[in-house]
Amino acid sequence: MRRFLMVAALVALTTGCGDVRERFSSNAGLAAKAGSTELTSERLAQILTSGKAVKPNAEAAEFVTGVWIDYSLFAQAVARGDSLTDSTTMSAAMWPDIAELRTTRWHDTLLAQRVKVGPRTADSLYGGNDVRVFQHVLFRVAPTASAAERGQARRQAEAVLAQARGGADFGQLAAARSQDPSSAADSGFLPAAPKGQWVAPFDSAGWLLQPGQLSGVVETPFGFHVLRRPPVDAVRQRLVGFLHQSQAQRLDSLYMDSLAIRNDLEVEDDAAATMRAAVADMERHKNSSKKIVDFSDGGLTVKEFLRWVRALPPQYRQQVKTAPDDQLTQFARVLSQNVLLVRQADSAKVALSPTEWQGMRQMFRGQLDSLKMEMGLGGDVTDSTVSEAQRLKVAQMKVDQFFDRLLQGQLRLRPMPSALAQVLRERSEYRLYPAGLARAVQLGQTRYDSLNPGQQGQPGAPGQPGAPGQPGAPQGQQAPQGQQAPQGQPPVIQPAPGPNPGAPGQAAPNPSR
């Protein structure tokens, strides 16, 4: 905290003292303002303690206050008759999705010109000894399972093996009997993988199989498996996909590195410290033109960096504050490569098709309609026969009711889409009052202690997502049960093509699963 205050004091030398006096005012009764409405410290403390298992802290207070500001500004925009659906607003609010779509198209165009994989290449890979595609049926066994439970699972595997040897369709058996949901949904197929990728008993048994051959019952830490090596005709397209992905990843890395070299990309020596300071006080640094990374005809400024950070889930911001210098330096490099990739798409005049634009518009309208419905912003807020002042009062009442439902446990607090929130903040006046935030935390902690005598709660914000970076399969995927889970892998920043930069502290897939 002392270091942060020193940074803020140094910034004040160049930004003037008036703003600092206002931000660090002694008004401890007020936490924030959004337009003409106010969030008191007492009200914020109530929200922070809406979940008994959550003990308030400064980060939770900032998170909740940010959500209150965004929801308040949204309600006020609706009350003023701003539909927020014009093309300019939509483009600004959907920029991460639009950038993703445009750069993905550019990226795919480049790969289509460079990645050439045919059936003969896949057949050659199949006949080699480096990569395999397996089907399997799994009967799970918990590490604490009794001998009787293990015996039952083994008998189930033996029964399936007998059926398969008797001519039953292995894919149908896997779909009906396997207890590995992800592969069972695909007739028992596991993804193509090199030797050494699977747990040792599974790997050893699989590499002994000839085309079309079945294994015996194979025991691994996950349970009892029956393996099959499908013939080449059944896996040719899967191997083509594997080769295409492998080549694409290699070319991605080469292309992104070449972008950095051609544009003389250089990360500033103080980039890590600058990034931490910016994320620690995003409001103060949101318009900073200080460069984090320098490259030809431009650079990654603090302002642009924060724009990308806001497009990530809120929990990643905390990781920026705590990640080591080398991770932050790599993160800055990846972000800059993505900026350059967007610039390449601009130069190639890659644009959304009318169909894509219409789909984006429908998605955005859907987001707005969901927010309005969740907040109860109906005709009583948009009635043009009522004065704007009255509509604004009703809108703020809806915001208060929304947070009342939160207090009653009827809702889960979640942030507004970050790009939309940024648009609203750029168009409206709002302020945070650090003294009031600190007072709210103090009141909330006292309230928490009275509600939970003798208990230690987990600090955080109500409904705030848990921290990322836990070992396991990539988000949205389930690791096949034949694989080892990553163990003890340090978090890294992993470059990725397109404008989805990852985040410091995010766990990368383990190459020895």
| Run of H or E residues at 227 | strand 223-228
Burial 227-246 (b: 16+ CB within 10 A, else e): bbbbebebbbebbbebbbeb
CATH of domain 134-229: 3.10.50.40
Beta-carbon count within 10 A of 1 CB: 7
DSSP one-letter code for 483: B
Looking at residue 476, what is its pLDDT? Answer: 33
Domain boundaries, the chain: 22-87+356-459, 134-229
Secondary structure of residue 136 in the 3-state scheme: strand
Query: Which tokens in the block code for residue 228?
Result: 């099959």
Looking at residue 393, what is its pLDDT? Answer: 93
Assess contact for 458 and 64: CB atoms under 8 A: no
Long-range contacts of 201-210 (CB under 8 A, 24+ apart): 202/136, 202/227, 202/482, 206/132, 206/134, 207/129, 207/132, 209/134
Looking at residue 474, what is its pLDDT? Answer: 30
DSSP one-letter code for 472: S
Q: What is the pLDDT along the chain (513 residues), one digit of tens a residue?
A: 333 222 322 232 233 333 333 333 445 689 999 998 999 999 999 888 876 566 888 888 988 899 999 999 999 999 999 889 888 888 888 888 888 888 888 877 776 666 667 788 889 889 999 999 999 999 999 999 999 999 999 999 999 999 999 999 999 999 999 999 999 999 999 999 999 999 999 999 999 999 999 999 999 999 999 999 999 999 999 998 888 788 777 777 777 888 888 999 999 999 999 999 999 888 889 899 999 999 998 999 999 999 888 887 767 778 888 899 999 999 999 899 888 888 888 888 888 889 989 998 999 999 899 899 989 999 989 898 899 999 999 999 999 999 888 888 787 777 788 888 888 998 899 999 989 999 999 999 998 888 777 665 444 444 443 333 332 333 333 334 444 333 332 222 222 333 344 444 343 323 233
Looking at residue 458, what is its pLDDT? Answer: 47
Looking at residue 148, what is its pLDDT? Answer: 95
* Whole-model pTM over 0.85: no
Looking at residue 204, what is its pLDDT? Answer: 94
Looking at residue 350, what is its pLDDT? Answer: 86
Q: Across 258-394, where does the E strand assignment appear?
A: 266-267, 291-295, 298-301
Beta-carbon count within 10 A of 418 CB: 19
Looking at residue 114, what is its pLDDT? Answer: 64
Looking at residue 175, what is its pLDDT? Answer: 96
Looking at residue 456, what is its pLDDT? Answer: 53
Distance CA 295, CA 267 (A): 9
Looking at residue 51, what is its pLDDT? Answer: 64
